[in-house]
Amino acid sequence: MNNEELQQLVSRISLESFHKPFMHRAYFNPRLRTTGGRYLLQSHHIEINPKAFEIYGVREVEGIILHELCHYHLHLEGKGYQHRDKDFRALLKKVNAPRFCSTLQIPKSRSKKQRPHYTYECIQCHQRYVRKIRFNVNRYCCGKCSGQLKIVE
């Protein structure tokens, strides 16, 4: 799906579920990380995470769009458009939208790679050690020369 098709999808969902036109832009934003989508208060545009589409497909994206359109229409009408507002919750229920800006569950294999590693270096022989856990450099020393370790990154 490209931006043009996304725009059409948002316009259609707006008319079908809210009986109101969507008069701003909807587009994919690849910089979104774990949020499925967001509504921009300043410009009234709706941004969708392209990864939501890749991971979950069109049904999930439709849910995200419904949710963002709730923010959109309430905000434009000067009603309570935030998650905690009564107007917002009532509208979500009415159009059967998911309660939260859906958070993407990045598949485990990928998130494992992103887990931080800590690199330690011996200040004497410069041997490097990469460990998954952070430890106190005062309590351990270099396995090769017993020199003091320092954390590099």
Report in angstroms how near the CB of residue 73 gets to Zn ion at its nearest.
13
50 vs 121, beta carbon nearer Zn ion: 121
Tokens of 8: 């059409």
**Is 73 part of any known ligand binding site?**
no
Q: Which amino acid is at 69?
A: L
Contact residues toward Zn ion (CB under 5 A) are 101, 122, 124-125, 127, 142, 144-145, 147
Q: Out of 4, 47, 54, 68, pick the active-site residue.
A: 68
Kindly state the smallest distance separating residue 81's Cβ from Zn ion, in Å.
9
Q: Is 71 annotated as a binding residue?
A: yes
Nearer to Zn ion, 117 or 126 (CB): 126
111/144 with CB nearer Zn ion? 144
Both tokens assigned to 77: 């009408």
Q: How far is the CB of 152 from Zn ion (least distance, A)?
A: 13
Q: Which residues of 38-65 are buried (b: 16+ CB within 10 A; e: fewer)?
A: bbbeeeebbbbbbbbbeebeeebbbbbb
Instruction: Mark whether 54 is an active-site residue.
Output: no
Strands 128-131 and 26-28: unpaired
Query: Do the strands 46-48 and 128-131 form a parallel or antiparallel pair, or are they unpaired?
Result: unpaired
Written as one string, the DSSP assignment of 81-126 is -STT-HHHHHHHHHHT--SS-PBP---HHHHHHTS--EEEEETTT-
- State in angstroms the smallest separation of the CB of 121 from Zn ion: 9
69 vs 71: CA distance, rounded Å: 5
Nearer to Zn ion, 27 or 147 (CB): 147
Which residues carry a binding-site annotation? 67, 71
Which residues carry a binding-site annotation for Zn(2+)? 67, 71
Which residues are tagged catalytic?
68
